[in-house]
Every structure is written in structure tokens, then in C-alpha cells.
Amino acid sequence: MYQNSCGAAAASAGGCIETDRDCHSLISKEPQVAAIEHDYSGFDIVKATQYGAFARVKELIDAGYNVNERDSETVTLLHWAAINNRKEIMAFFIDKGAEVDAVGGELNATPLHWATRQGHLEAIVILMNSGADPTLRDAEGCSCIHLASQFGHTALVAYFIARGVSPDLIDRGGMTPLMWSCWKVCNLDPTRLLLTLGASPNIPDHQGNTALHWAILARNTSAISLLIVQGKASLNASNRRGDTPLNMLQSQIGSTWVGTKVRDKIRDNIHASKSKAFLIKIIKDKRLKWWCMVGTPFLAFYLAGAILSTSLLVIIKFFFLVCLYIVIHYAGQILYDDRLMALLPVNIYLATKIWMYFTWLIYIMPFVGLNANIVFFSSSGMLWYFFLKSWLGDPGIIATSQQLRFRTIIELAEKGPSGFEPSNFCSACLVRRPLRSKHCSVCNHCVAKFDHHCPWVANCIGMKNHKYFIGFLATLVIMCIQLIIGAFKFWQNQEECRLSFITPNFWDTMSAIGQCDTWVAWVSANAFFHSIWVSMLLVCQLYQISCLGMTTNERMNRGRYSHFLSNVGKSPFSRGYLLNLAEFFECTCFGFFKLETKNWLSSYDLDKNVEHQPLIRHKDNYQYV
């Protein structure tokens, strides 16, 4: 009788399988051979069903064979058709009155159980549409969603939940699909998918173990991280033996399979439970930590400028600057977690710009004309507008809801397994992926026409805010250049600096500027540095938009997309320099002509005149850009 070899392998303690593809590589994999004619006339109906000989099957059924006839082990023909994914034969049997929930074999399983073990999505869709019950348990006490979770069949788990199966359904031992996934599957999915669809990480089984207990027992690093960092699993839930996840992880905190983020969470919980010291309470205060993160770049910028403005020897100034860096570095490690550190670049930007305003108002404004002040504040006002649009605006997030997720899953499932390829389906957001979209691991969203995630605006850059990001870069360069010009006017009006400008020695000039007013020199140096790298980024962005017709993600990963490969590495979306720019900035020349633009939120295929193949080389759902 049928015994799944993958099931035997997965049953070993702590054993994880990677994906349903790994399972398929071990069992029921049909060899790829050249199409030849076979003589099936001598096959009995079971063998004809297994080999997919539909004509022979039909011949025997029409001759009077009972479609619900069972063999010596109570297995029906529908079982054999389901395990071998013989879709046409399955539909024929069901049309002839086959019992879709027939129980048979050693495990007293239904055809749906057999198809689930093998990961045959098409067979499952046929059975479910014919009324098969996915909640029935086999002899081991598992329903179909538990089997799908054990073997890492993510698409099947999604389909069962979309068809109404509870993500918290328990088997005979009290284990949920999430527990099985954490115990048996080393990949992110289906654990991530189950959490996204509402599976509870804190339900205990009959022994009191939660999903996190099972993940720790399996040393499943990805599952542990997901449950603690994203799933909000309790570290203090005790099983019947009195073991908590915190105690189990604490004893293994030095092990390589315990991730960095998990270690941080463990230490936070240990401090929270043991420390009563006033200083520790301050350190763990989330609101205080947030304000410290906001204030640190402002304070660091000022202290660096203050140190440089002193009359100390250069080497002593350098020593104090190094000390300042060390103090801020180690204070940051104590105070800030990864979430707060992600805000550091945007806070550095804000601190730099605020001190530039301060310098302009206090030092430079009296020495420049009215027109220069108007231009400076007008352009900086535009800068704030573009910055806020880039920072707080919607980059083009693919919106979804639970109902829409379920509908999408069902629609893609009925198209076959290819519907759940990473090129078509995001297993994190559970949405169908539009063309040119990408999942951002930082924001945890799929973004239409994704360009990159910019830490300086703490947001993704995509379809809806890309043009504002270009405006942000351009106005930032203008502001920096204006401040540098204003600083030179300030120095020209200082007696101790004026004569230094006529000397041909560059370093004498720089020394005189520093002695004239070190703070202005410090701020100007920052403005000069920003103007250089922001200008380079602006030129690169405009080149990609106008000349290449690509996003940053597409340019860096064009080898992953077949529509770029089939177009000799060129973008199939490019329409020429001028049209690319006009389309990007939505120029209509005051309504004299109308551009034909695509809505990248809902564009799933290339134009008909462009050759299109599925995306390839999808090692993962995202890369860092």
C-alpha cells in the first residue's frame, strides 16, 4: 500500500524539509521523456488510471466497471487518479458518480489527503469544487491543511484557508498547521503565510506547547524569528513540563541557529523581568528611546561643530571627535533596536537641514541680498514639499484585504501551480504581483513600479512618489549650492577672510576660512558633501528614467527578468528619451496632447507586441536595492 517516503523523512525528530519542490524531487516525479505512442490495451483500470491512459479508463468504465469499486486495501480509483494528478480522469470519475470523500488505504485517507501529500494543486481544486471535505482526518489524526503544512505546500495551505478552512484547525494531538510548519519546514513559508492569514502563534497543543516551542525544538531559525519578531509569539508561555520559550532560548543563546534579532528580544525580556534599576527603566522606555533617536543626530552635529570651533590644537580636536563617535556608537547599541536604527538616516538628513537653516538665518542672511533670501526660502519650501511627499506619501502600495486575498488565491489556484510562482504571487502580502512591482522587505509591502527603498526618506520609491523623489533630490542640490554661495559671501565680508582669497595657495585659503568662522565652514563642508553625492544620484536617476526606461531595481536585476533578456537587456517599457521623461513627469503641455500611460498598479502583462515570458531566476521574493 501507498506509504509516502517524504512523510517518513519528515517524521524524524527535528527534521525540516525545504519546500514542496524538494518533496516532489523524492516522490512521484514523472521522468521527462520524448512523446511516444504507448499500447495501454492490456492495462487493468488501476494501472490505466495511474498512467493517465484516459481512453483505456473510459473503455473499461463504459464496459461496466464500477467507478467506486475498491481494491483489497479499500483504495478507490479516485485515490489513484488524485495521487498521480490525472485531472481529466478525475473529472471523468466524478462525473460518473465517484465518491469524493471515500476513505481508503493504511491511513484511512481520502483522495484529497492523497493529493495533498503530493502537493497536486490542480487535483485539489477539482476535488474541492466537487464537494470534498478538507477537514476530515486520516488515521494519524491530520486533516489536509496539516499535511500541506508538514510538507511545505504553501499554495495548498493558502487555498485551503481561502476556501474556508480555519488556520487554527487542530489535529488529534492538538497541533495547528502553524505548529506543523514550524516543526517540519525550514523555509519562511508556509509559516509566514499562516501568520499573515491570521493563525495564532499562542494556541497550545495537548502538551501545552505553542508553535514557538515546536520551532525551538526543531531549531528552525526562520520560524523562530518570524514568530518572535513578526508574529508576537509569547516568550513566557509555559508547557506542561514548565518550559517556556524564553528559558529554552536562553540556554541556547550562544548557538549559531539563534538569530541576532532573537537574541535582542531575549535580552530585552531578561532585562524587563530582572531589572528594577531606574537607569534600566529609562533605557527600556520606548518613547524616550524614540526621542533620543530623533535628537541624537541634532546633538552630534552641533557637538562636532562646537569641537571644531574651539581654539584647541588640531590633534586634540581630532581626539575629541573620535571620543564623540565612540560614545554615540555604543550609546546607540544600548538604546536603539533595528526599528529605530532604520530611522537614523532620515534623522541625520533632518538634523543637517535644520542646522543649515540656522546657519543661513544667523550668519549668512545679513550678507546676501533680498533676492537671494527669497530664492533660498522658496526653493527650501519646495524641498520640504517634495520631502514630505517622498517620506509620508504612498509609493504605490498594492492594496489588499482579507477578502481580496482569498479571491486572488482561489483565482490563481484554479490557473494551476504556475499562478503561485514568485513572479505572479507574493507569499508575504498574498497579492497577485503587477508587472514591475516588487516586495520591499523593509516596509513589508509590494510596491508598484518599485525603484528602491530609500533610507534618507524612510520610504519606498515607487510609481506614486518617484517624481516627488526626483524633485526632492533637485531642490536639495539647489539648497546646498545656495548655502555654499552664501557662505562665500559671508567670508568675503569678514576682514580676516577677505585677504586670504587672493592668495594662490588652496590650503592657506581653507585655513583662513576655518579661522574666520569654523561653524560656517563645518556647515558648508556638509552642504558641499551632500551636493556631490545627491547630484550623482540625481543624474543616475534621470539617466535611468530617460535613457534606459528602467527603475533602479530593474537595472540591477535585469538578468532575473526574461522580458529584459529577450529584449537583449534593453527595457521593453522605453519609449524614447523625450517620451520617457514626459510620461514620468506626466507632462501634457498644458493639455495640448494626452499621453497613453499604464496603471502599474493593475498591469500584469506586457503589451501584445512585446514578447513576454514568466519571470525567472527567482531565488527569493526580494533583493535589497
Give 335-358 as a 3 state SS string. Answer: HCCHHHHCCHHHHHHHHHHHHHHH
The pLDDT, as a whole number, for residue 281 is 56
452-454 and 445-447: which strand pairing? unpaired
What pLDDT was estimated at residue 416?
76
Give pLDDT, residue 310. Answer: 86
Query: If 0-12 CB within 10 Å is exposed, 13-18 middle and 19+ buried, where does residue 370 land?
Result: exposed
Burial code (b: 16+ CB inside 10 Å, e: under 16) for 563-582 equals: bbeebeeebbbbeeeeebeb
Q: Of these residues, 454, 460, 480, 497, which one is catalytic?
A: 454
Average confidence (pLDDT) over 381-396: 95
Listed residue (478, 479, 457, 484) closest to 468, CA to CA: 457
Number of neighbours of residue 236 by Cβ within 10 angstroms: 10
pLDDT (0 to 100) of residue 598: 83
Residue 207, pLDDT score: 94
Q: What are 435's three cell numbers? A: 508587472
Once rounded to an integer, what is the mean pLDDT over residues 340-352?
A: 89
Q: Are 160 and 149 in contact (CB under 8 A)?
A: no
Amino acid, single-letter form, for residue 558? R
- Confidence label for 166 from pLDDT (cuts 50, 70 and 90): very high
Query: What is the number of H-type helices and E-type strands within the chain?
Result: 30, 6
Asked if 461 and 392 count as a contact pair (C-beta separation under 8 A), the reply is no
Which of the residue ranges 108-122, 328-342, 433-447, 548-562 has the most confident prediction, judged by mean pLDDT? 108-122
CB of 269 within 8 A of CB of 245? no
Band of pLDDT at residue 514, cut at 50, 70 and 90 = low
At residue 248, does pLDDT exceed 70? yes
User: Is the peptide bond between 614 and the residue preceding it cis, with omega within 30 degrees of 0?
Assistant: no
User: Is 259 a residue whose pLDDT tops 70?
Assistant: no
Question: 481 — phi, psi (to 5°)?
Answer: -65, -40
pLDDT at 518 over 90: no
Q: Tell me what the mean pLDDT of segment 123-140 comes to.
A: 96
Report how far residue 423's alpha carbon sits from residue 413's, in angstroms, rounded to the nearest whole number: 15
DSSP class of residue 296?
H
485 burial (CB, 10 Å; 0-12 / 13-18 / 19+) is middle
Q: CB–CB of 405/430 below 8 Å?
A: yes
Average pLDDT, the chain: 83
Mean pLDDT of 164-175: 95
Distance CA 472, CA 346 (A): 13
* Mean of pLDDT values over 88-110: 95
Q: What are the Cα distances from residue 398, in Å, to 98, 188, 567, 600?
A: 42, 21, 27, 10
Of 83-92, 179-188, 528-537, 587-596, which range is least confident? 587-596
pLDDT given at position 492: 81
Q: Which residue in the block uniquely carries the three cell numbers 545679513?
A: 366
Confidence of residue 30 (pLDDT cuts 50, 70, 90): very low
CB 519 within 8 A of CB 305: yes
pLDDT at 353: 93
The answer to whether the Cα torsion of 219, 223, 227, 233 is positive or negative is negative
> Is residue 304 predicted with pLDDT exceeding 90?
yes
Asked if residue 614 lies in contact with residue 418, where contact means CB atoms within 8 angstroms, the answer is yes
The Cα–Cα gap between 515 and 365 comes to 20
Question: Angle at CA 562, nearest 5°, toward 561 and 567?
Answer: 110
pLDDT score, position 316: 92
Q: What is the pTM of this model?
A: 0.78
Helix (H, G, I), strand (E, B) or coil at 64: coil
pLDDT of res. 272: 52
Which of 32, 28, 50 has its CA nearest to residue 151?
Answer: 28
Closest CA to 149 of 16, 297, 59: 16
* Range from 273-282, 351-360, 385-394 carrying the lowest mean pLDDT: 273-282
Least confident of 3-12, 282-291, 367-376, 548-557: 3-12
Residue 21 has pLDDT above 60, yes or no: no
- Amino acid 145: pLDDT: 97
Identify whether the C-beta of residue 618 lies closer than 8 Å to the C-beta of residue 421.
yes
Report the alpha-carbon distance of residue 323 to residue 304 in Å, rounded: 11
Residue pair 156/148 in contact by the 8 Å Cβ criterion: yes
pLDDT reading at 126 higher than 90: yes
**Residue 547 known to be catalytic:** no
